[in-house]
Amino acid sequence: STDNTVSCATCHAPEKGFGDNRKTSLGINAAVGGMNAPTVINSGYHRLQFWDGRAASLEEQAQGPVGNNLEMFAGKGDAWEEA
């Protein structure tokens, strides 16, 4: 992440069932998100991704958190390049 404090495993922690057990997840600079991170267990079998179903595939969903300025990268150019 931008501040080197957040990775995918921060919100999808193995010891917490690959979720984060929080009401709302925390991102960079301890920013509070709008919802919590769901478990990633069996997520490849879900018809739609994200709580609101806005991603049609797991591959499409994976683009969201990395490019989100609260979750991982704060708009310093290309998020994937920074990752």
Q: What residues are labeled active site?
A: 71
Angle at 77 between CA 71 and CA 78, to 5 degrees: 75
In the numeric block, which tokens belong to residue 5? 């404090």
For the chain, the farthest-separated pair of C-alpha atoms sits apart, in whole angstroms, at: 33
Distance between CA atoms of residues 68 and 41, nearest Å: 22
